[in-house]
Chains A and B, each alone.
Chain A
């Protein structure tokens, strides 16, 4: 209260004589700058170079020719651009085909994302708009599952999958990854449905749409940003998963990309094929970066809505 009073009282005397609105605004903006503009640019660009350097190395190493990629000392810029490392991904060196692993990764990631989106949309809608006895408690329990890391219960998950014949099975991994993406997704979807004013649904129902019609034609379109956020966060989590696939899949032909790369990085005959490995890493990394750059808005919104609560 006192702070606010000083704040409003201070508004006019700050930039001294001329108090046009624009100078006031720039003065306010200046109050936030930690560095003068020139220094800010220098620092920002230097930090950006540090952040981009590993990505540059990734691209340049994977785009070198096979012989240049194995050369020491390493070259900074590829002498000639070559896609040989990428072409090599499909070769069955040591019984390990990375294109096959890529297919496995795609299957797990896409099915996890689709199932998660459907299940969390339904549950989120129910928690926001279709209350039932104990629904508040059920939602609370869902949130608690956030607290338990799946690394801690991976042993019995392995045994449970074994019991139902889904251990060493890509669909088994899908179900596990889906389950551990549910809490955050349900939380996101409940919030996006809860943000839609009830009058909108009521209006639709007065116009003769049933509960289902209202959900499909009115609620769902309004929840699309939430759905995109949930889909994105799930996609990244599933695509980048290493631990669950490492433990739940035992057959090399069923490995996902991150696990297969592990075999590659362990090397054959004590020699690691760095060109091939980094090409595999590039295939894993590039989709994430591209998807993020395109759908950044939704991704950030999803993260932040989870954070702000």
Chain B
């Protein structure tokens, strides 16, 4: 009886949907299938597994034991992880405004609609397409003691001594990494901000000027509010990038001196793949994801919807 009704239901639905539409929707599912399989297997499944593993003490070999929330409790009392989190946060807090300021400056510089401005735009953007790892190897060389061209140049100008190992000082190492990151990513911020600036109608800016607004006032009350969606995006990009920083510190400072430049991802890497505490590393990963999600959500809320 029930099977009878269900077949009529299918028939009726089949009659309502033309054959072509049904075929197209079948085809649609078929076309999405490869992407779905990959995302399911290498994204969704590992994601669920991270959550599951975070409740276990799991060495890379041997049996794992259920420990409940112990990994999370440990994370909050783990001074090494605490240091890594603090360092990552301070790195993010320092890098983000510097990148934004440089990006905005570059965007203002190349905003002219001339051929020269277009060329400069390309020049400033080129480091973006270079890998973070390659850029790191390059900058490590540039600042080497004795053989590094910039260490040498500064010494010739009477700043410092060519023999000093700058990577042995926490502050100097940090500044070098910061400079490298600015060099490598400011162009991306420039490009995004430029497209934001160019989408502001010229008439609006002109009108503000005629109404007697000064340069700063125009920027503050016209440009900045209209640029808000772009700013939100640029900030999310640079904050997410900074919170996930790994390559540059792994390569340039190896976390030193005295483990002072170990970032959160670096610490997760050490926990999981050097010390092989996979369960604990999973718990740290979950915490990192939560922080990232919260940061993006807060920024989107603050910068996107505050004009409603």
Question: What is the CA–CA distance of A169 and B286 in the complex, to the nearest angstrom?
Answer: 27
Question: What is the CA–CA distance of A154 and B285 in the complex, to the nearest angstrom?
Answer: 9
Question: What is the CA–CA distance of A127 and B162 in the complex, to the nearest angstrom?
Answer: 59
Instruction: Please determine whether A40 and B109 come into contact, CB atoms closer than 8 angstroms.
Output: yes
Binary interface profile of A, 77-120, with partner B (CB < 8 Å = 1, else 0)? 00000000000000000000000000000000000000000111
Question: What is the CA–CA distance of A83 and B303 in the complex, to the nearest angstrom?
Answer: 52
**A18 in the interface, Cβ–Cβ < 8 Å?**
no
Asked, given contacts A182-B39, A211-B24, A242-B132, whether A152 binds B289 with beta carbons under 8 Å apart, the answer is yes
Name which of B2-10, B76-84, B86-94, B244-252 contacts chain A. B244-252
Question: What is the CA–CA distance of A138 and B125 in the complex, to the nearest angstrom?
Answer: 34
Question: What is the CA–CA distance of A142 and B273 in the complex, to the nearest angstrom?
Answer: 29
Asked, given contacts A72-B147, A151-B265, A151-B268, whether A120 binds B35 with beta carbons under 8 Å apart, the answer is yes
Asked, given contacts A7-B206, A236-B129, whether A149 binds B240 with beta carbons under 8 Å apart, the answer is yes
Binary interface profile of A, 226-258, with partner B (CB < 8 Å = 1, else 0)? 000000000010011111000100000000001
**A289 in the interface, Cβ–Cβ < 8 Å?**
yes
Question: What is the CA–CA distance of A184 and B265 in the complex, to the nearest angstrom?
Answer: 23
Binary interface profile of A, 120-142, with partner B (CB < 8 Å = 1, else 0)? 10110111011111010010001
On chain B, the residues within 8 Å of A242 by CB distance are: 131-133, 247, 251
- B149 partner, pick from A32, A76, A158, A307, beta carbons under 8 A: A76
**B123 in the interface, Cβ–Cβ < 8 Å?**
yes
On chain A, the residues within 8 Å of B124 by CB distance are: 47-48, 51
Instruction: Please determine whether A47 and B109 come into contact, CB atoms closer than 8 angstroms.
Output: yes
Question: What is the CA–CA distance of A189 and B74 in the complex, to the nearest angstrom?
Answer: 44
Q: Which residue of B lies closest to A52 (CB)?
A: B123
Question: What is the CA–CA distance of A35 and B201 in the complex, to the nearest angstrom?
Answer: 20
A151, A154, A175: residue with the most chain B Cβ atoms closer than 10 Å: A151
Instruction: Please determine whether B244 and A151 come into contact, CB atoms closer than 8 angstroms.
Output: yes
Instruction: Please determine whether A44 and B46 come into contact, CB atoms closer than 8 angstroms.
Output: no
- A160 partner, pick from B24, B46, B149, beta carbons under 8 A: B46
Contact residues on B (Cβ < 8 Å of other chain), bracket: 35 or more
Question: What is the CA–CA distance of A303 and B128 in the complex, to the nearest angstrom?
Answer: 12
Q: Which residue of A lies closest to B140 (CB)?
A: A265
On chain B, the residues within 8 Å of A152 by CB distance are: 50, 268, 285-286, 288-289, 292
Instruction: Please determine whether A74 and B278 come into contact, CB atoms closer than 8 angstroms.
Output: no
Contact residues on A (Cβ < 8 Å of other chain), bracket: 35 or more
On chain B, the residues within 8 Å of A247 by CB distance are: 269, 273
Q: How far is the CB of B8 from chain A (nearest CB, A)?
A: 20
Instruction: Please determine whether B31 and A130 come into contact, CB atoms closer than 8 angstroms.
Output: yes
Instruction: Please determine whether A123 and B132 come into contact, CB atoms closer than 8 angstroms.
Output: no
On chain B, the residues within 8 Å of A3 by CB distance are: 203-204, 207-208
Q: How far is the CB of B264 from chain A (nearest CB, A)?
A: 9
**B210 in the interface, Cβ–Cβ < 8 Å?**
yes
Q: How far is the CB of B234 from chain A (nearest CB, A)?
A: 9
Instruction: Please determine whether B206 and A28 come into contact, CB atoms closer than 8 angstroms.
Output: yes
Question: What is the CA–CA distance of A232 and B106 in the complex, to the nearest angstrom?
Answer: 24
On chain A, the residues within 8 Å of B141 by CB distance are: 57, 61, 274, 277-278
Instruction: Please determine whether B49 and A147 come into contact, CB atoms closer than 8 angstroms.
Output: no
Q: Which residue of A lies closest to B146 (CB)?
A: A72
Asked, given contacts A3-B204, A58-B138, A277-B137, whether A299 binds B210 with beta carbons under 8 Å apart, the answer is no
Q: Which residue of A lies closest to B208 (CB)?
A: A3
Q: How far is the CB of A169 from chain B (nearest CB, A)?
A: 14
**B108 in the interface, Cβ–Cβ < 8 Å?**
yes
Within 8 A of B (CB), among A269-283: 274, 277-278, 280-281
On chain A, the residues within 8 Å of B147 by CB distance are: 70-74, 274
Q: How far is the CB of A48 from chain B (nearest CB, A)?
A: 5
**B85 in the interface, Cβ–Cβ < 8 Å?**
no
Instruction: Known A-B contacts: A130-B24, A258-B134. Give 19 more (CB < 8 A).
Output: A7-B201, A28-B202, A31-B206, A44-B110, A55-B126, A72-B162, A74-B148, A130-B27, A132-B29, A147-B293, A148-B289, A153-B46, A153-B49, A155-B268, A155-B273, A178-B38, A284-B133, A285-B130, A292-B129
The 17 sampled A-B contact pairs (Cβ below 8 Å) are: A29-B113, A32-B111, A32-B205, A34-B109, A41-B116, A126-B31, A127-B28, A147-B296, A149-B289, A151-B265, A153-B285, A155-B53, A179-B41, A240-B132, A241-B131, A265-B251, A289-B130
9 nearest A-B residue pairs (beta carbon): A240-B131, A130-B28, A7-B203, A156-B49, A126-B31, A132-B25, A156-B46, A179-B42, A242-B133
